[in-house]
A and B are shown apart, each in its own frame.
Chain A
């Protein structure tokens, strides 16, 4: 993307004020999307964002600047700005020479989305629209979205690292509105993979549309959700959001270092029931949070965070790992070249247990079954977290009965982890997500088998 000589010169300029560490991150991202709404293919959008972010570290201070100008002059200007921000070191000239890192392998993309005709992409939208509307006249509105992106990155730093990656992602979603006597309800279905247009060999957009429509229609007859603490069974796939919020964020080393996490200082302790093994894994080929190298040039890792209930490690980026004298776990990510990297999750999941999912429901006298979760949010310092249920049912006498309306559930991470009393053997990955932290969004995946929390607070309005 830029030649090695220019990289060396840029890193040299970045270290001129005495920086201990300098890094150049170059990104060239092309995106395209198409939206159908209100029965029409409304708009196609495409764009390109390209530039470099330069980071200089002196002591505990980081200076950062970025530029869309990848010429020698543009990079020199950004290097100077980043160096000025982190001044205060010894000064002087340092030679930097970078070497290519082995192991940053190109991802297998069978059908590059850029080679697919726009008309073919648009066809997917109209197929989904027709399929959703075919579910009944109560389906009053349909939005279908197609999106793809190709993100080429190059990372080089003053430790001599030079690594590149080429990340292709493709996604599709359908949202429906159903109108009935009780008002409006919505249903959504989405898929996203770190692969090319071959996504649609496995994802049937008409099926997705029918499922989204079905959700909206089901909710037209939904009762208000109950309120108060009760057992909650989360279906396969969806529960990942729960763990992402309940403990994932709290295991990010930057928050731990500031004691802004309830999990600080607890490595080696039993933090969950023995049924829980939590893994963050950027190497899962094709998953939404997959990559070959993170945005600091480190290979993606398979990191066990909780093993059989015992907290084994946190997630690390370069800066936090460097301070602790250890290696980054491959969790340094950023939204774009305009952002500083920080500790982020990749694909976070709970591995299979041994319970039969049918037994988990049958063994629940009264509670809530959540088939699809929405997003969530956590306060890592207190551990309190919420997540939304977008498709949920009552469990009465061990059976899934009536649908309930949308709402949030609230719990406390460390507390909830000790209340997981059943983990099924039906592991599935959930829907693709965008995780937000400090204003930066990155693609993440999650997954779980069916599992039960003995007590979570359901935020409905019914008694």
Chain B
């Protein structure tokens, strides 16, 4: 849709003298199909579009949006952003991005097969996923949800400073939540399969993962409180990385909200650990050629061999920190101005499989799932406490399942207590990849 960049450029071109204008335009088509008991439970066909306009004048910033691309709305939105800017306070570092000469990576993020994939085929996949999940194990008693989701996403950013970039991406996934029944108990587990196009989807894999995760928790009990070594499943590690990513933004550092401020160049974790954010990695589900301000995405090393080496920046935090943008502007859709954030975090994988890591642990816990990360982890203080379920590890082997426990530490401690990094790097439907991670001296609260 070449019109998106035309619309964005037109609005950016309306900038008055002494004023900067940025227009962000999106158009998205999403299909979501839920299957239940062999039938389509719901089929949603959703097309949405919108524009967000940022105006910076005399150092003051204003923002406005509209969920339509009708001609009359474009002018109105710009006027409203202008008016909003008049009530904000000036900041010398405010401004839209400027072209920085960094070439965008050449990524193929658009699978044409996604466009031609018929609704009937999508329905068939959703129904097959539900059937396969129910059939995966005799103890599967029901399905909480089994769904197929795809998106065709197009966006464009244009600024009065000369940025004009656009992107077109496809993505799809299958996800299943299975219920397993034992004696007077139910356990749940999820599984998924994802890719840029339908060819990557494997309902059998999603179904068997969901069934295995649910059934292996059957009989779970609440263990006694203790301190032990935990193995975080890749799914859990990826969620942890997402939280750590928040603390490694220039924005958090400059505003005194990062526990890593003032620590650049210091050893913050074990020497085996290297953490990068790289949206140019085509394997990442969240890969992207341009960031939320229209600059090329790039690879940024945040921690190298245990040493804190960098922070993520958008154009504002870069100006304020007298550095350059790392192409890390992220947007909350078209309804808000760009902030700073990680887009595709990953740890450098180690050489051991999860089974090998477990084999080296006498007394531990494999954490399969966590809950309440938003309420129990404070990325400012570093306090970390989350609900968990998983399997105990005894004598190097997986033992009985446990539930209704929490694991707690601080982000600072946790990074220093890492004793193993798995080889099982896996990109997940979030802005991070997971690997199995072994951490010692974690408090497990139970009975």
Interface mask (B293-327 → A, CB under 8 Å = 1, otherwise 0): 00000000000000000000000000000000000
Asked whether any CB of chain A lies closer than 8 Å to the CB of B100, the reply is no
Dominant SS among interface residues on chain B: strand
Give me the 9 closest cross-chain CB pairs, A-B, nearest first.
A459-B406, A388-B375, A408-B376, A407-B385, A386-B372, A386-B387, A44-B84, A49-B67, A47-B65
Contact A259 B141 (CB under 8 A): yes
Partner of A64, one of B45, B375, B443: B45
Q: Give residues of chain A (358-412) contacting chain B, Cβ–Cβ below 8 Å.
A: 374-377, 379, 381-382, 384-388, 405-412
Asked whether any CB of chain A lies closer than 8 Å to the CB of B78, the reply is no
CA–CA, A366 to B115, complex, Å? 62
Instruction: Kindly list 7 other residue pairs between chains A and B, CB separation below 8 angstroms, not including A48-B65, A82-B45, A384-B404.
Output: A44-B87, A45-B62, A179-B256, A229-B445, A386-B387, A408-B376, A457-B405
Chain A interface residues toward B at CB < 8 A: 34, 37-38, 40-51, 59-69, 81-82, 84-86, 118-119, 122, 140-141, 177, 179, 183-186, 219, 225, 227-229, 255, 258-260, 262, 338, 340, 374-377, 379, 381-382, 384-388, 405-412, 438, 457-461
Chain B residue at minimal CB-CB distance from A77: B47
Asked whether any CB of chain A lies closer than 8 Å to the CB of B266, the reply is no
Residues of the B chain whose Cβ atoms lie less than 8 Å from the Cβ of A118: 83-84, 87
Q: How large is the interface on B (under 10, 10 to 19, 20 to 34, 35 or more residues)?
A: 35 or more
Contact B179 A81 (CB under 8 A): no
List 28 A-B pairs, Cβ < 8 Å. A41-B88, A42-B61, A45-B336, A47-B65, A47-B67, A47-B335, A49-B50, A64-B46, A84-B119, A85-B40, A85-B45, A119-B87, A184-B257, A227-B408, A375-B375, A382-B187, A384-B403, A384-B404, A387-B372, A387-B375, A407-B376, A407-B383, A408-B385, A457-B404, A457-B405, A459-B387, A460-B385, A461-B408
CB distance from B6 to the nearest CB of A (A): 19
CB distance from A387 to the nearest CB of B (A): 6
Q: Give residues of chain B (54-85) contacting chain A, Cβ–Cβ below 8 Å.
A: 61-68, 73, 77, 80, 83-85
Residues of the B chain whose Cβ atoms lie less than 8 Å from the Cβ of A379: 188, 371
CA–CA, A458 to B67, complex, Å? 44
A408/B386 contact (C-beta < 8 A), A60-B39, A227-B445, A340-B42 known: yes
CA–CA, A386 to B62, complex, Å? 38
CA–CA, A388 to B381, complex, Å? 15
CA–CA, A406 to B382, complex, Å? 10
Residues of the A chain whose Cβ atoms lie less than 8 Å from the Cβ of B143: 258
A407/B381 contact (C-beta < 8 A), A60-B41, A384-B403 known: no
A260/B371 contact (C-beta < 8 A), A45-B64, A61-B41, A184-B259 known: no
Residues of the B chain whose Cβ atoms lie less than 8 Å from the Cβ of A225: 385, 408
Chain B interface residues toward A at CB < 8 A: 36-37, 39-50, 52, 61-68, 73, 77, 80, 83-85, 87-89, 91, 119, 141-145, 179, 185-188, 222, 225, 254-257, 259, 335-337, 371-372, 374-376, 378, 380-383, 385-387, 389, 403-410, 443, 445-447
